[in-house]
Amino acid sequence: MEKLSLKIDNAQKHISKTLDINSRYDAKGKEKIANAAKQFESMLTQLMLKSMNKTSGGMFGEEGYGNDMFDTVFEQEIASYMGDSKSLGIAEMLYKKITGEEMNSAMRMKVSHQINPLKIKSANTIPPADTTSVKPSTSSLDRLGKFDEHIEEAANSFGIDKNLIKSIIMTESAGNNKAVSGAKAKGLMQLMDSTAVDMGVKNVFNPRENIIGGTKYFAQMLRQYSGDLKLALAAYNAGPANVEKYKGIPPFEETRNYINKVLSYFNHFNESQL
pLDDT digits (tens, 9 = 90+) for 229-274: 999 999 999 999 999 999 999 999 999 999 999 999 999 999 887 6
Residues 252 and 129 in one domain: yes
Whether residues 190 and 154 share a domain: the answer is yes
129 and 240 co-located in one domain: yes
pLDDT over 70 at 228, yes or no: yes
Classify residue 211: in a domain, yes or no. Answer: yes
Q: For the chain, what is the mean pLDDT?
A: 77
Which residue among 47, 82, 114 closes a domain? 114
Q: Tell whether 185 and 263 lie within a shared domain.
A: yes
Where residue 124 falls among pLDDT bands split at 50, 70, 90? very low
Same domain, 260 and 165: yes
Considering 172, 244, 253, 271, which one is annotated as catalytic?
A: 172
- Claim to verify: residue 259 and residue 175 sit in the same structural domain: yes
In a domain, 20, yes or no: no
Indicate whether 169 and 34 sit together in one domain.
Answer: no
**Contact call for residues 74 and 112 (beta carbons, < 8 A):** no
At residue 109 the predicted structure's pLDDT band, cuts being 50, 70 and 90, is low
Does residue 94 lie in a domain region?
yes
Please tell me whether residues 128 and 240 are part of one structural domain: yes
Number of domains making up the chain: 2
Residues 262 and 189 occupy one common structural domain? yes
Residue 172 annotated in active site: yes
Q: Is there a domain that residue 1 lies in?
A: no
The one-letter code for the residue type at 9 is: D
Please tell me whether residues 219 and 135 are part of one structural domain. yes
User: For the whole model, what pTM was predicted?
Assistant: 0.57
Instruction: State whether 198 and 66 are in the same domain.
Output: no
* Domain that residue 41 falls in: 26-114
Whichever domain contains 264, its CATH number is: 1.10.530.10
Q: What is the pLDDT of residue 97?
A: 81
- Together in a domain, 30 and 88: yes
Tell me the mean pLDDT in the region 110-138.
Answer: 51
Asked which of 58, 89, 114 is the last residue of a domain, the reply is 114
